[in-house]
Structure formats: C-alpha cells, structure tokens
Amino acid sequence: MKPAYDFVIIGSGFGGSVSAYRLTAEQKRLGRPASVCVMERGKRYLRGQFPRDVGRPKDFSFRNEGRDGWHGIFDVRSGDNISVLCGAGVGGGSLVYLDVQVDAFASTFDIVGPEGRRRWPSTVNWHEEMPGYYARMESMLRPSPIPDPPLKTIALREAAHGAGMAERFKLVDLAVFWGKQGGERGVVFNDPYQRGGPPQGACQMCGECFLGCNTHSKNTLDLNYLWFAERAGAEVFSQHRVTRIEPRPGGGYTVYFDDLAAQSPGSVTARNVVVSAGTTGSTELMLKCKHGYRSGRTQFAPTMPRISEMLGRYFSGNGDFGAVAFQSRRVTEPAVGPTITAAIDCRDLLDGHGFYIEDGGIPEVLRANMRLYPGGVSTGQRVLHWLRGLVSTRTPASLAEQVFDLLDLEAVRNALVYLTMGIDAADGVMSIDQAGQLQIHWDHTQSMRYLRKVEETLRAISETPVPGSDGPGIAANLMLNPTWSFNKHLLTLHPLGGCPMGDDETMGVVSPAGEIFNYPGLYITDGSIIPTALGPNPSKTIGAVSERVGDHIIAKGI
C-alpha cells in the first residue's frame, strides 16, 4: 500500500465498487496514473472458495471486529426490535445478496416522514435523474428474469392467482448469468459478456445465492465494477478494517485501519475519502469520528465533531418481513433455484407506499457441505443411511423417520417462503456505546399500518382457498417470522439510513452529491445515505445513487 492516494474508498459493496470503477476510469481517461485505494474488511473469494464447511463457523461469521479469525462472510448486528445481517468480503453485500435488481417505487422519492419532513433532497429531481443511473447499473450487472422458473416460482404464481392478484405476479430481474442461450446450467464461459470480464458459470439452480455463489453465476460486484476498476489500476486491499478518519491540516484525510491478516494497525492519507462501508459500517465509523470512543485503555477523541446532528437518524429495515406458508398443496422445492425469482407487486397499496412479496429459498447446507469431501454426496448419503439404521434399532423407528425428515427438509418441500419488503416509517436511530459499538433502536409503532397490511396480504395469498375446498391458490397455513410473532423483533437484510442525504446539515448528514456537510472531500455513498425505505430490494437504487455521487465527484475535479 502506498502512503497516499488521491482517493481512499472504504468498503467494496454497491457504493464502494461503483465509486472505485468510476473514479479509476476517469483518472485513466484523463491520462493520469490511477490513485485509488479500496479497503475491505472481509476476505476475497474466488470461484469455488465460498465457505460451505459447517464445521468451520469462523468462515461464516464476521465478529469481534474481525479479530481471532472471525472474518467470515456474514456480519449480524442485533438491536432493539430489529437485527441486521450484512455481508463482508470483496464485493461487499453483493456476495450474499439475493440477486434482485429492481427500481425503487417511484413514490419513494416524494415520501414525507412521520416527523413531517420531505425526506429526499428537494434540490434534485429524482424522478428525472434516476432512470439514467438505473440504466448504468443495468448495463453493468445485466439483470434479466430467470428463463426456466422452478417449482417455487410456479407456486408463488398460483398463490397470487388464488388471492385474485394474478396480474401482480411477475418474474423479477436478477443479476445472474443464465448462459448465452439461456438455461445452460453450470456451463462455464470465459468472459460471458464479452467485455474483458472474468469467467462465469451459468446458474446451476443450487439455491446457494445467500451463501456466496460458488459458480460465479451471480453478477457480484467483484466480477464487474470492481474487476474493471482493478484492471484500470485501482488497488484493493482485503481484510483491512478502517477504525477512524481524521482530517489533515491543510486538506485531505488520514485513514486509520487494522490489517486483519497481518494483525497490525496502519494508516494512509488521501485527498478524498469515500466511505462505503454499508449502512451499519459507515454509520458506526462516522459516529466514532463524531463522538470518539474507547478501545481497551485508549480513549480516542472525536475527530470530526461538526458532522450533522442528523447522524444515526432515519434508519430503516426497508420493511423486510419474512413468513412461510407451510403445508401448501403444491410442491415448491425451496432449495432449488435462485433464492428469489419472482414477486407479487403491491406497490400501489397503502396510498402508493406499498410492498413487494417475493419467493424465498432455503440453501441446502448439508448437501453443499458433503460436496466438499472426496467421497462426495453419495458417500455422505451412505453414512447417513447407516446412521438411520443405527437410530432405528435403538429407538422407535418413527423417531428415525422424524430425524431424517428434518434432514430432508421434508417440512418445507411444500412450503413457500416469503420475503416481503416495502415502505416502513424509516424512523429508527443508530448510536454507539462507549466502546464504539453500534446500537440500533427501532420502534415499529409508526410502521404498524404497513406491517398489518403485509400480514393481511400474506394471509390472503397463502390461505386461499380454505383447506378442503377447490379453486385456485395454494391452501397453506401461514406462519409469520416467529421472532416477530413472539417478540416483535424483525430481521432485515436491507438496512438503510443513518447518514441520510439532505438539502442542508439540518436535514441530513451528506449533500445530495454525497459530500459530508462541513468536511469537503469526504463522501459517503452506500445504503446509509438513503433517507427512506425504498420498497423492493434496494441494491440497484444504492448503486444508482452511487453512480450519481461518482458523477459529482468527477465534476468537482479529480
């Protein structure tokens, strides 16, 4: 790593990768040497390297700030009434996201929050500007609907039909490579999009999108934006976790980091810094810079106290709400196919601030684990069969049946998993404790109207017709996310807000161009600057907003 760069980018997800590519490409276009450094806290995963061995939990979980070997691919943060799951690795959240590329609801950009403020900056005509940036995302990520939908997709279509919502059903655009003809499962192509990209395999329908796509069928950011940025000269450093940012006298910033692989601290300076560590990561970092924190016996003083008081506000889980329709009358095989394939589009409900109901999947972790070993799946099958015989001879045979039904995911072979997302109130607050650890406070009160409508709709599509009667539908039993039913606690994969955009520092943390008020040359671009829920899966909008921020950085002069 060089001691200084023009740009240091913190994080490699939908904000960081887009910025890295646009900035490096612009430097190249101007004939200047690339001077872009990307720091990512997670590891780099090549094709086939995503973890599957369930005996190695540290490969799956990013905990303890990445120390003691806990530098896995998932980072779970638990807060009041809501938990957040994020990805860690070169490519950021794209490694574990569920491929969906859908525009935000148009009504989103006009949302007025419960506090009575119009959330999105009024100085920008978002309706006019965003389509161009969405198109850029599409040209890079090449989303398209699945050409050969699996059984769970057909089940969702039937569910919509049963509830009289057939016209709302549609296959969603997925950033997945299906093959050149379409449906060429598993076939590996060198540079499939013929633009100098890496080899990718066509989707095998293995249902493991969520665990990291081992065939590189998912168009994750390390295969496009970041791939091209690196080829243009950007330097990407994995397992580098940024701890704080400090303005330098005379301009520029010093970025302090821990090298998790070498287990040593370091620092680098930059004229400009782009913070793209994700909603939780960026907000936590900025809160530490604004308020200071204690690490062990060392107290770090605030480095950027003039950051807006709006820091930490407008947290949203993007209305994420999970449910399962059990005992449906259709075969669904939720372990087959991309995790999400289709949606029931209810955006027009709730005065135009509705929701999207998508089918979900369940990755078959046991089978994926058995594939790793030399004996492969067949040997694992024989061992399991031997164990089954052993259990049967020592216990009632029905117990063995039940155990193996569980292993076979028998209870969900006719279950339809729902992943719902939509417009919640986006009124959560993030803060840090003395040790600089993020705290998330979310109250569902203002979002109850939304949640009740979601539940009502899920019940209609799941439980029609009533069991025993004829007619279209899947006739299932709906089970809501149990943590919600018992404890009013939700899980979100799509955290947003915390460093919201605003017209000025009383309205937000960053300007519509992503620049932090009072700190020139310091930008944030990721989910944290989105001031509301977006409706459907937010990655496309986060990427598009990052494209816009990149344009403004370039226009300002690099």
d(CA 116, CA 515): 25
d(CA 74, CA 42): 9
d(CA 18, CA 11): 11
State the DSSP code for 243.
E
Q: What is the number of other CB atoms lying within 10 angstroms of the CB of residue 62?
A: 23
- Binding range to other proteins, per CB under 8 A, among 110-118, 303-311, 399-407, 503-511: 399-407
Check if the beta carbon of residue 107 is closer than 8 Å to that of residue 114.
no
Among 298, 378, 393, 445, binds other proteins (CB under 8 A): 378
Binding map of other proteins across residues 400-419, x = CB under 8 A, - = no contact: -x--xx-xx-----x-----
Residue 182 binds other proteins (CB under 8 A): yes
Residue 329 binds other proteins (CB under 8 A): yes
Specify the residue, 204 or 431, whose C-beta has the smaller distance to other proteins. 204
**Residue 52 CB, nearest approach to other proteins (Å):** 7
d(CA 218, CA 203): 8
Site for other proteins in 120-149 (CB under 8 A): 144-145, 147-149
**Residue 545 CB, nearest approach to other proteins (Å):** 24
Give the strand pairing for 321-326 and 477-480. antiparallel
Tokens of 165: 């919502």
Residue 47 binds other proteins (CB under 8 A): yes
Count of residues that interact with other proteins, criterion CB under 8 A:
63
- Binding range to other proteins, per CB under 8 A, among 47-55, 240-248, 278-286, 491-499: 47-55
- Binding range to other proteins, per CB under 8 A, among 44-52, 250-258, 284-292, 355-363: 44-52
Tokens of 112: 């007025």
| SS3 state of residue 228 | helix
d(CA 59, CA 43): 10
Calculate the dihedral angle through the C-alpha atoms of 296, 299, 304, 307, rounding to the nearest 10 degrees: 70
State the DSSP code for 425.
-
Cα distances (Å, whole numbers) of residue 144 to 139, 147, 294, 319, 335:
11, 9, 47, 24, 21
**Residue 100 CB, nearest approach to other proteins (Å):** 13
> If you count them, how many residues does the chain have?
558
Site for other proteins in 237-266 (CB under 8 A): none
Residue 556 binds other proteins (CB under 8 A): no
Residue 151 binds other proteins (CB under 8 A): yes
Specify the residue, 288 or 330, whose C-beta has the smaller distance to other proteins. 330
d(CA 48, CA 67): 24
- Binding range to other proteins, per CB under 8 A, among 59-67, 363-371, 439-447, 456-464: 363-371
**Residue 280 CB, nearest approach to other proteins (Å):** 30
Residue 55 binds other proteins (CB under 8 A): no
**Residue 59 CB, nearest approach to other proteins (Å):** 13
Q: Is the dihedral of CA 362, 527, 118, 445 positive or negative?
A: positive
Residue 26 binds other proteins (CB under 8 A): no
Q: Give residues in contact with other proteins (CB under 8 A).
A: 47-49, 52, 144-145, 147-151, 153-154, 157-158, 166, 169-173, 179, 181-188, 201-202, 204, 206, 208, 214-215, 328-331, 366-368, 371-372, 374-379, 381-382, 384-385, 388, 401, 404-405, 407-408, 414
